[in-house]
Structure 1
Amino acid sequence: MCGIVGVVGNTNATDILIQGLEKLEYRGYDSAGIFVAGEASSQLVKAVGRIAELAAKTEGVEGTAGIGHTRWATHGKPTEDNAHPHRSETERFVLVHNGVIENYLEIKEEYLSGHHFKGQTDTEIAVHLIGKFVEEDGLSTLEAFKKALHIIRGSYAFALMDSEDASTIYVAKNKSPLLIGLGDGYNMVCSDAMAMIRETNQYMEIHDQELVIVKADSVEVQDYDGTVKERDSYTAELDLSDIGKGTYPYYMLKEIDEQPTVMRKLIQAYTDDKGQVAVNADIIKAVQEADRIYILAAGTSYHAGFASKKMLEELTDTPVELGISSEWGYGMPLLSKKPLFVFISQSGETADSRQVLVKANELGIPSLTVTNVPGSTLSREADHTMLLHAGPEIAVASTKAYTAQIAALAFLAKAVGEANGNDKA
C-alpha cells in the first residue's frame, strides 16, 4: 500500500517528510520521493529503492513545506519517472496520490491533448488536469482542484502543492485513508497516524469526498461544493517507543516475542476481576440478533477469520461465512435477513474492507470491526469495535496481530456462547 506524508509551516520539513516515510516502510514500496518548498525555491527528489537512498539525495534540501510518497507500482514500472510526486505540464503543480483513478485514460483523451507525460501513472494525468485548469482556463488552485475532483472517478487520497505557494497543502480523499496531523505552529498530512506520531498525537479525520486546505495555523474542511465542515480532532493512542526495534535486529523477531504479552493484554481487556469473559454487552447482543455472521477481510486477517469460523459457529450457534473484501466491494452476494458484518483488519485502514463497510452502512447492516488501531477508519465507521491491544505491527509478515485476531474472536465466541447458555462455551 502506498504512503503519503506532508507538512506545512516547519523549517525542518525535509526531516519530517523523510522520517514519516521511514515509518511507512512496513507497507512495502518500490520507490519514493519528496517535494520541498520554501519562500525562494523548491526541489523535487525521487529515488527507486529504499528510503535510505532517497534520504541520501536530500542533503541540502530545505524548506518550510512539502509532500512525500512511497509507491508500490500499479501503473508503470518502478522508475524515477513513475515515482511520486508528479508535476503538471509546466511543473508548477505537484501531486502525490494513493489509490486508482478509474477514468484516467478518458481524462487524458478528453482534456490533455498535446500534454507531455514523463511516466505512465494515472497520478500524472491528475496533476496535469489540475494544472490545465489553472494555466489554460484561468482558475485558482482551489477552483481547479475542485473541478478536477468532480471529474475524477475512483479511489484516491491526494496531497497537492503549488510550487509558487509554500503556505498551503490541498488534500482530498475518497475511499483511501488520509489524516490531518495537528502540530504546534505547523500541520501535517499522512495516510497513517504512525507516520507523524513523532510530531503529534492529535489528528483530524477526513471523510470521503471532502477537501481540506491545510496551512501552518489553520485547517479548513469543505465538501466539493465549498460548504465548510466543522471537525473535531482526536488523540491517536500510539506510543513512539512501540514503533522502534529496541534491541532486536528485525521487527519480526521483536513481534514474535511480543505475542505472550499481547495475550496477557487481551485477557486483561476481555475478562473481569473474577476471571470471567467480559465483552461489551452491545456487541454480544449484535451477534445474538444476527442470523448469519459474515467475516470480511483480506490476506492474513482473512486467514484469522477462517481459523475462527468453526469456533464461532459452535459457540454462538450462528452460521459464519467468509468474504474477501476486494471481491465483495464490487459485488455483494445475496445476504441473509439479519446479517452481521465482522471486519478484521490489523490497521483498521484496509481500503477494500472499508468499501464494503460503506455499503453495509448504506444498507443499515450492523457491523463490528476487530482491529489493532483505535480511532482507525474501520473502527470509527463501524457500529462496534473490539481492539487487539497488540501495539503497532511493522513487519510485513504478520505474527502477533494474527494470533491476537484469533484470540479476540475466541473471547467473542465464548462470551456469546455463555450468554446463550451454550454448554460448549
Structure 2
Amino acid sequence: MCGIVGVVGKNDATTIILNGLKRLEYRGYDSAGIYVAGDESHLVKAIGPIKNLEEKLDTTITGTMGIGHTRWATHGKPTVANAHPHTSQNGELVLVHNGVIENYDELRQTYLATDHFYGQTDTEIAVHLIAHFKNTGLTTKAAFKKALAVIDGSYAFALVDTKDSETIYVAKNKSPLLIGLGEGFNVLCSDALAMLDQTNRFVELTDGEMVTLTADNVTIENAAGEIIKRDYYVAELDASDIEKGTYPYYMLKEIDEQPVVMRKIVQKYQNDDGSVAIDQNLLTSLKNSDRIYIVACGTSSHAGWAAKKFFETLTQIPVEIHLSSEFGYNMPLLSEKPFFIYLSQSGETADSRQVLVKTNELAYPSLTITNVAGSTLSREATYTLLLHAGPEIAVASTKAYTAQIAVMAVLAKALGVEKGISAALQFDLFHELSLVASAMETMINEKESLAELTADYLTDTRNAFYIGRGNDYYVSMEAALKLKEISYLQAEGFAAGELKHGTIALIEEGTPVIGIITDAVTGPHTRGNLQEVTSRGARTLVIATEDLAKADDQILLPTVHPLLSSLLAVVPTQLIAYFATLQRGYDVDKPRNLAKSVTVE
C-alpha cells in the first residue's frame, strides 16, 4: 500500500512506470507489480526489490498505457498472489490500491460469496466488487463509481479495463494521489517525485473524487457526479529541495513518512522466518549485562524514556535514562556489568560522544542507534543499529524519534527471546509495528481537524502544558519540546500527578492543558488532574486512545499495543507543533538558535 504510478498516452510506458517505482523505493515495500497495455499487454508481479520485477519483464512489450505499484503487506503475506496489480475474476479489470478497506470482509460476504480469490488482500476484493457491478450491465466507470459508494476506508485507486487501452480510472480517499499533466499524455502518482522526469505540473485530488484519465483529458468528478475544475500547480524543485518533494516543509514530509519508516524497520530487521535480525554478539553482550544505561540528548532522550518500559518488560533488565550533558561530568555509581546505548539521529552529538569516550576508556560495551552509518558515534561504539529512517532535514526531529523507539523495541524483542522471557516470546512485534504504521496513517490524515484545534487552543496563548502519567508523561515531554522549539510557545511537559505539588500554580484563566491518556490504569487519574486544572480556569484538550476515550475527548487515537502507544500518541502532538508554528508565521524547518546536529558540548 505504498506507491502508485501510471501513464497514458506516451510510448514506452514500461520504462516510465519502472522509473517511477524506483523513485518510490524510499517508502519501503516488499513486492512490486506492473500492468502495461498497447498492441499487446502484460501484467507482471514480483516479490522483493524492483530489480526482481525488471528481470521478469518482457522488454519488447512497451505499450502506451499502464499502472504500477509497490506494496507493503497489510492484508496477506508478501507473495506474488498478494502483490498488486490485482485482477477481476474474468481478468478484464486491473487495479492497484494504496490504503485499507475497512469493510472488505462484509463486501466479500455480501456481493462475492461465490468468487474465487487467489490471495488475501482487501484490494482483490475491491476489483472483484467493481467487476460484480459491471456484470450487471454497467459501464466500467459506472461500476467503479458504484463500488466506491459502498467501500469504507482509505484508498488511492487506479483502475484499468483491459479492453480499453486509452483510459485509467482513478479515485482517492485519505490516501495521497496526484495527476501529472503532460503534452499529449498524462500521468498519475502517489508522490510527485515519482514523475518529476515526465512533468512538473500536478493536479491535487481531494477525498471522494473520481478521475477519468486519458492522454488528452483529465475529468475530475465528485461523489455527486459534478465536474470539478482545478488548476494545476508547478512543482518547482531544485537539487537542494528535491528530497522535500511537493511538501512546503521538510518537517511535514518527515511526519508523513513515519508509517513508511515503521515498515522499513520491520523490513530491515525481520528474517525470512519471521525472527529478529540482530547481531548475535550484540545480544550476548547485552544478555551478560546487569543494567542498561541509555545516554542521549533532547528528543533522543525522550525516545529513551519511551523505550524504558517495554525494554524492561521484554528483557527483565533494569534500564536507566541519562542526559549526555549531565552524565559526562556527573557519572553516577554504575552497576557491575553496565551496557551503554547511545541514541543519536546524526551520530555526531558532541555531548554523547564525550560520554562514549569515557565509557570506552572504562572498557564498557556500547551500542549506538543512529540514522547515519559511519558517523562518529557509530564508528566508536562497539556495535551499531541503524534507524533506516532516511535523511531527516527539519531541525525538529519527528521520524527519527519514532524510529529510535521502534528500533529499541526490535532490540528488546530479540534480547527477550534470547533470554527466554515469556513476555518477549508472546509479543508479535512485527505485526504490532505494522498496526502502528496503519494507525499513524489514520492520525496523519486528521491534519485538517488538528489544524483547527491548534488554532482554537494555541493562537492567543503565551504558554501551554502537556500532562500524562507513565509513558504518557514521557510523550508529554517530547510534545512540549516540539511545540517550544519551533513555535516559541513556553511549553512544558509535566507528570500529571505532580501538578498539585507546585506546578498547578502556573495555571491561569484560559491556559491550554493537553492531557495524554493511553493507559487504562493511570488514565482515570490523569482525568482527575485535568478536572483540577479546569476548576482553576484551564482550557483542556484530551488525546486518548479509542478504548479509553470519553464522549467529549477531542483527539482519538486508534488502539495499539500498550507497550507501543508512545509511537502513536506523539503524532498528533507533532502536527500541533507544526500548525502552531505556521499560524505564527515562523519557519517550521529552521527555528531560531537551533541546529540539526549539535556538534559542540
TM band (smaller chain): 0.5 to 0.7
Q: Tell me the SS of whatever aligns to 2:7.
A: strand
Shift of 1:304: 11
**Counterpart-to-counterpart distance in 2, 1:193 and 1:329:** 33
Evaluate the alpha carbon distance shift between residue 314 and residue 28 of structure 1 in structure 2; reply closer, same or farther with a 3 A threshold. closer
Shift of 1:290: 7.7
> Which stretch of the first structure deviates more once superposed, 285-294 or 111-120?
285-294
**Counterpart-to-counterpart distance in 1, 2:225 and 2:586:** 36
| Counterpart for residue 178 of structure 2 | 179
CA contact (8 A) 1:101 1:122 kept: yes
Letter of the aligned partner of 1:67 in structure 2? I
**Counterpart-to-counterpart distance in 1, 2:139 and 2:375:** 52
Shift of 1:293: 7.5
TM-score by length of 2: 0.48
**Counterpart-to-counterpart distance in 1, 2:182 and 2:517:** 38
Deviations along 1:271-305, one digit per CA (max 9) or x if unpaired, are xxxxxxxxxxxx9x96434874889xxxxxx8995
| Counterpart for residue 422 of structure 1 | none
Question: Counterparts in 2 of 1:350-369, with a 5 A limit?
Answer: 368=579
Q: Which one has the largest radius of gyration?
A: 2
| Counterpart for residue 298 of structure 1 | none
Deviations along 1:79-131, one digit per CA (max 9) or x if unpaired, are 10000000001000000001110111111111112211111100000000111
Matched, 1:308 2:481: yes
Evaluate the alpha carbon distance shift between residue 179 and residue 125 of structure 1 in structure 2; reply closer, same or farther with a 3 A threshold. same
CA contact (8 A) 2:459 2:580 kept: no
Q: Which has the higher strand share?
A: 1
| Structure 1, unaligned runs of 5 or more | 245-251, 264-282, 296-301, 340-351, 371-381, 389-403, 412-425
| Counterpart for residue 30 of structure 1 | 30
TM-score by length of 1: 0.66
| Counterpart for residue 396 of structure 1 | none
Evaluate the alpha carbon distance shift between residue 81 and residue 262 of structure 1 in structure 2; reply closer, same or farther with a 3 A threshold. closer
Deviations along 1:1-52, one digit per CA (max 9) or x if unpaired, are 61111111111211110011001101100000000011x3211010000011
Evaluate the alpha carbon distance shift between residue 367 and residue 324 of structure 1 in structure 2; reply closer, same or farther with a 3 A threshold. farther
CA contact (8 A) 2:37 2:63 kept: yes
Question: Counterparts in 2 of 1:146-295, with a 5 A limit?
Answer: 146-239=145-238, 287-289=459-461, 292=464
Evaluate the alpha carbon distance shift between residue 131 and residue 234 of structure 1 in structure 2; reply closer, same or farther with a 3 A threshold. same
Q: Tell me the SS of whatever aligns to 1:79.
A: coil
Letter of the aligned partner of 1:185 in structure 2? G
| Counterpart for residue 367 of structure 2 | none
Shift of 1:318: 4.8
CA contact (8 A) 1:289 1:338 kept: no
**Counterpart-to-counterpart distance in 2, 1:174 and 1:144:** 17
Evaluate the alpha carbon distance shift between residue 410 and residue 311 of structure 1 in structure 2; reply closer, same or farther with a 3 A threshold. farther
**Counterpart-to-counterpart distance in 1, 2:32 and 2:580:** 32
Question: Counterparts in 2 of 1:393-408, with a 5 A limit?
Answer: 404=589, 407-408=590-591
- Larger RCO of the pair (alpha carbons < 8 Å, separation 6+): 1
| Counterpart for residue 126 of structure 1 | 126
Shift of 1:330: 5.7
Percent of aligned positions that are identical: 48
CA contact (8 A) 1:35 1:42 kept: yes
| Structure 2, unaligned runs of 5 or more | 244-370, 377-389, 396-454, 468-474, 494-513, 519-542, 556-567, 595-601
**Counterpart-to-counterpart distance in 1, 2:167 and 2:374:** 39
**Counterpart-to-counterpart distance in 2, 1:144 and 1:210:** 15
Query: How many residues are aligned here?
Result: 329
CA contact (8 A) 1:179 1:189 kept: yes
Q: Which has the higher helix share?
A: 2
- C-alpha RMSD over aligned residues: 4.3
Shift of 1:323: 6.8
